[in-house]
Amino acid sequence: MAVDVAGEVCRHTGRQMCPRCSWTRPRDAALLVLRGRTARTALPVAIVVGTVLSLVNQGSTILAGTATTSTWVRVAVNYAVPFTVASVGYLAGRRTAADTTPWQGYLVGYHDARPGITELILGQATDRRAERPYSWLLERLPGRHAVILDLACGSAPTRELVPDARWLGVDFSAGELALAVAAGRGPVVRGRAEQLPIGDNSVGAVCAAMCLPVLTPLDEVLAEVKRVLRPGGTLVALVPSRMWFGRGLLGWWRVLRALGVRSQPWPNPGARDGLPKILRAHGFVVEAGERRVFRREIGDPRAAALVVDGLYLPGIPPDRVEAARAALASWARPGRRLPFPLRRVVAHLPVAG
């Protein structure tokens, strides 16, 4: 399960640090400088330090009117050096490791080993209106006449909420699909999100619950969604939203501290609060992007362990995961509720005309 619990914030977007302001290769760092990403930090430093150095070292020469080309070169260096140093400092805090996680294989193994875990966690969460995440998501689906595709359906928790709808669930985890079938939730079919086993223009709506931040490659996934949707068809997506201050934040802080991370290493970090922008870039018309905070009681160590096991944590050592379970268990007690901030994004394909 994907939950946005922390992360450094972009200065230029106000959202979590994204690929536009982070770098992995030296070429990426050079592009950040050329695009002016370091200027906001480096320019004020260069102006102040460069001016002071120039006044101290070349001020008398300039005021006396005896400055030469060599003098002005030194002045330029006075500004260039602090600009470079400040830029290097900016870049140092934004270097990210290359993501070598084979996400498709990781997700299949994760969900085969833990079928139904996302439903177990979110199915017990409620907001201040006592509404649950899946029912909130489905409020914006079209009427019964539309065929609904549940993308990466997992154990198919949405099926029981639309019992009379023409519904089809697709997932690549055999374990999740087996659980859905055992619960009488169908029809379901095994397939990849980037190669949907469905014809063109065959569905009126696509439901995507908690999957877009981790489905790869995202461009191909969204292209498939567009292919199977009819013109005017609706996409409703539920994604994690950025954590703000509030009750329960200490619980998440304990988990992250024990894991030794600031956020989960999703392959598509922009597909959360930034999902509307991504959908517009792929030709969707975004109708709404609403945020709600749902909370789930963490009353005992078992509930704490379930939440930690519900996080995508490729590459995190087992001892750190166990430490995170223990940290959240020490915080847990009856009546304590952990926040799950979520965003519902509603979009549709334009009708050609």
pLDDT above 90 (res 47): yes
This prediction's pTM? 0.73
3-state secondary structure of 127: coil
Terminal CA-CA length for the chain: 40
> What whole-number distance in Å separates Cα of residue 353 and Cα of residue 289?
26
**Strands 337-348, 229-240: pairing kind:** antiparallel
> What whole-number distance in Å separates Cα of residue 269 and Cα of residue 344?
16
User: Do residues 79 and 72 lie in contact, with contact meaning Cβ atoms separated by under 8 Å?
Assistant: no
Mean pLDDT value across residues 322-336:
94
Tens-place pLDDT, residues 156-181: 999 999 998 999 999 999 999 999 99
Mean pLDDT value across residues 331-337:
93
For the record, the structure tokens of 308 come out as 């930690």
pLDDT above 70 (res 353): no
Mean pLDDT value across residues 267-280:
91
Best-predicted range by mean pLDDT (13-17, 51-55, 258-262): 51-55
Task: Give CATH for domain 103-348.
Answer: 3.40.50.150
Domain ranges of the chain: 23-92, 103-348
The sign of the torsion formed by the CA atoms of 54, 58, 64, 66 equals negative
Range in 38-47, 204-213, 230-239 the model is least confident about: 38-47
